[in-house]
Chains A and B, each alone.
Chain A
Amino acid sequence: MAQHVLVPPLKEEDVRKLQLEDTVRIDGTIFGIRDATQIRIFDDKIEPPADLTGAICLHTAPGVKKLPDGRYQKISIGTTTSTRMDRFVPGLLERYQVRAIVGKAGLTETSVEAMRRWGGVYLAIVGGAAALETMQIEEIEEVWWDDLMPECLWKFRVKDFGPLVVAIDAHGHSLYRNVQERAAERTKRFSFT
């Protein structure tokens, strides 16, 4: 279980070398996306206004305050359940060369396969740990599509962001699948007396 520091933009080999249960921290910039952001990109077919090549995307809808100069100040930034946004993952990887998704609760086999094929990883953050996350996000650098507030396209500058656990790697392995299969196996043996 190695420890890594990732500094985006990432290249394919940066994520191919990561293994399940490795620990990751991020320095640099990451993008915030949620349901509405991706509906605009994939369903409404509007090209994202930022270059996502090699990007790390966080599943979030931040709590922010708009300042008089038009910039945004963070209030509480946490992570939302990724499973809902599963269907967008193949597109993010194939079309835009996104290399990593940060979220909670995992993704399905469709995404596991996409990550194996295009070279991407899923990094599990501790869900609900927003106090820490908010502190590690140093600044909201840019916001696009603020009509979707809070589900805009966000650019954050982060320092020591994590710890994150490699929960789906770029070789077809998923920690969620492993845990679930084991749980199914074990519950089958319960006698419930």
Chain B
Amino acid sequence: MKPSPEIYDALEVVARDLYIKALQDIPPDVRAGLSRGLEAEKQQGNQTASGIMLTILDNIRVADEQKTLVCQDTGLPVFKVAVGGKLDMDLWRLKDSLRKGCARATAERPLRPNTVHPLTRKHTGTNTGEGIPVVKLDFVPDSDRIELQMAPKGSGSENMSFLKMLNPSEGIQGIKRFVVQCIFESGARPCPPMIVGIGLGGTSDIAMGLAKEASTFRHLGTHNPDPDVAKLEDELLDLINQTGIGPQGLGGVTTAMAVNIEWAHTHISQNPVAVNIQCWRGERAEAELDAYGNVSWK
């Protein structure tokens, strides 16, 4: 079916509002994860780590009350869009609407502009530009709706991105060793307690994309449906928290709130492992549109 022509304007407004909401309103699953972190540190009697977790929760409360940004980094906008397969849409216009929405959020809220040319470092001033916003398109069978997820990915955690093409013979052991090494190297910089996203398999670019998907769009408290992968998530979370890096890298049992793994099949002679970190703020906002442009917020 053809969606109503208003849908592109609706998408622009939703994109703007998602960007602002993600920066102001921490998702419920992340809040719950942070509260669990506080409890864990209290149980250990770690005053420094408990104090940090309390301050984080306090900061979220202040942002709620005053409708201010949780963190100063307005990030690079990343969208994950699942388009219903029954919708006969102009996908170029869909992407254009998202771009316009980001520029509007930046001008109207206003938001700090971060987007620069990689060589000249010249600002676009709009938080949009070549390849920005990042739009990951996916399609859902038998649906006539558009599901949107948006994350303004902050740089402290995004700078902690890693890829290694391991040998297949290194197996699960090699994967674990590499991931723990990445967390050790990241230390305090991605603002722990973090969410660790891991992409396994695919080609190199697919692995990185899956890692981002895992760190940024997967909800806390969920597991990968594949039982072997889910087991690896639990084992890695346990190892990472045994390092004792802790909240803000100042020591504690809550280095990570979650390890999320997404995977794809790969080549017989490849074993790609990608790691992408999300910081404690776990910024993310979600909404859904029907074919007439009606919005429901999640």
Residues of A within 8 A of B (CB): 1, 21, 23, 62-63, 65, 75-78, 81, 83, 104-106, 124, 126-132, 134-135, 163, 165, 167, 175-176, 178-180, 182-184, 186-187, 190, 192-193
CA distance A183 to B245 in the complex (A): 7
| CB–CB B251/A178 < 8 A | yes
B112 touches A63 (CB 8 A): yes
Determine the chain A residues whose CB is within 8 A of the CB of B258 once the complex forms.
Answer: none
Interface residues of B (CB under 8 A from A): 47-48, 51-52, 55-56, 58-60, 62-63, 66, 68-73, 110, 112, 154, 156, 173, 176-177, 180-181, 184, 187-189, 191, 239, 242-246, 248-251, 279-281
Given contacts A130-B72, A131-B70, A167-B250, contact A186 B48 (CB under 8 A): no
CB of A187, distance to nearest CB on chain B (Å)? 6
Q: State A75–B71 Cα separation when bound (angstroms).
A: 11
**Known: A78-B71, A105-B187. Contact between A179 and B249, CB under 8 A?**
yes
Name 5 A/B residue pairs within 8 A (Cβ), A-sorted.
A124-B248, A126-B248, A130-B70, A178-B251, A183-B243
Contact check, B191 vs A127: say whether CB atoms are below 8 A apart. yes
**Measured between alpha carbons, how far is A134 from B191 in the docked complex, in Å?**
18
Given A105-B249, A163-B51, A176-B187: A186 and B243 within 8 A (CB)? yes
A62 to B73, CA, bound (A): 10
Which residue from chain A places its CB closest to the CB of B68 in the assembled complex?
A131
Given the complex of chains A and B, what is the CA–CA distance between A113 and B52 in angstroms?
26
Chain A residue nearest to B192 (CB atoms) is A127
Please pick, from B55, B173, B188, B244, the residue contacting A186 in the complex, using a CB distance under 8 A.
Answer: B244
Contact yes or no, B173 A180, CB < 8 A: no
- Total cross-chain contacts (CB, 8 A): 133
CB of A180 within 8 A of CB of B56, answer: no
Complexed CA–CA distance, A192 and B112 (Å): 43
Contact yes or no, A104 B184, CB < 8 A = no
A135 and B245 contact, Cβ closer than 8 Å, known pairs A23-B51, A126-B55, A190-B180:
no
CB-CB under 8 A from A132, the residues of chain B are 55, 58-59, 62
Chain A residues, Cβ within 8 Å of B52: 126, 165
CA distance A103 to B195 in the complex (A): 22
A175 to B248, alpha carbons, bound, how many Å?
Answer: 11
A126–B59 alpha-carbon span in the complex (Å):
10
Sort A-B residue pairs by CB-CB distance and give the 4 closest, nearest first: A78-B72, A129-B59, A131-B63, A128-B71
Residues of chain B with a CB closer than 8 A to A186's CB: 242-244
Are the C-beta atoms of A135 and B66 separated by less than 8 Å?
yes
Closest to B281 in A: A128
Q: Give chain B nearest CB distance to A169 CB in angstroms.
A: 13
Residues of B within 8 A of A65 (CB): 110
Partner among A83, A106, A135, A165 whose Cβ is within 8 Å of the Cβ of B51: A165
In Å, the complex CA distance between A83 and B156 comes to 12
Complex Cα spacing A127 to B52, Å: 10
* Interchain CA distance A83-B159 in the complex, whole Å: 13
Cα separation A123 to B78 with both chains bound (whole Å): 33
In the complex formed, the residue of B with least CB distance to A175 is: B250
The complex places the Cα of A131 from the Cα of B67 at a distance, in Å, of: 9
Q: Which residues of B contact A184 (CB under 8 A)?
A: 184
C-alpha spacing A186/B281, complex, angstroms: 27
Shortest Cβ distance from residue A65 to the other chain B in the assembled complex, whole angstroms: 8
Q: Establish whether residues A187 and B55, one from each chain, have CB atoms under 8 Å apart when the complex forms.
A: no
Q: Which residues of B contact A129 (CB under 8 A)?
A: 55-56, 58-59, 71
